[in-house]
Structure 1
Amino acid sequence: MIVDTQDIIEKAHLGDLDYVKHALTLFTDFVAVFVRILIIMVSQAGIPDKAIFNG
């Protein structure tokens, strides 16, 4: 996430002002972090992965 943020800042300084692309990049980073935190929490709760993904 930090690398993408720095990349966006550098691109903006160079004139790339595609706000939608930059926002989507950060959004996907936040989603990835959320999913990783969720996986950690589920694994610590002792719930089998199959129970979560199969409903």
Structure 2
Amino acid sequence: MDFEKIRLESLQEVSSALKDVEPGIAKLANSMMNLSSKVTKLMLIKYHEELKKQEQE
């Protein structure tokens, strides 16, 4: 499963839904979504690293 592809597709889908929103609000929303997306990516990386550690024990 390609989580990075899913993450980016989801981000794009939500971003495109903002096309009818006032530009300043859309820009802020996009910034917040990008930050949230990066946090989600980091969480997944750390989660998988922890799983690997547990498997090795």
Structure 1 length-normalised TM? 0.58
Higher relative contact order (CA 8 A, sep 6+): 2
Question: Any gaps of 5 or more consecutive residues in structure 2?
Answer: 1-6
Q: 5, 18, 39: which is aligned to 2:12?
A: 5
**Percent identical across equivalent pairs?**
4
CA contact 1:8–1:22 (8 Å) conserved in 2: yes
The amino acid of 1:8's aligned partner reads S
| 1:9-54 CA distance string (max 9 Å, x none) | 3423x3542211211012101101110110111110228xxxxxxx
User: Which aligned runs of 4 or more in structure 1 are off by greater than 4 angstroms?
Assistant: none
Say how many residue pairs are matched: 46
The amino acid of 2:34's aligned partner reads L
Q: Note the 1:24-43 alignment, pairs <5 A.
A: 24-43=32-51
Question: Any gaps of 5 or more consecutive residues in structure 1?
Answer: 48-55
CA root-mean-square deviation: 2.1
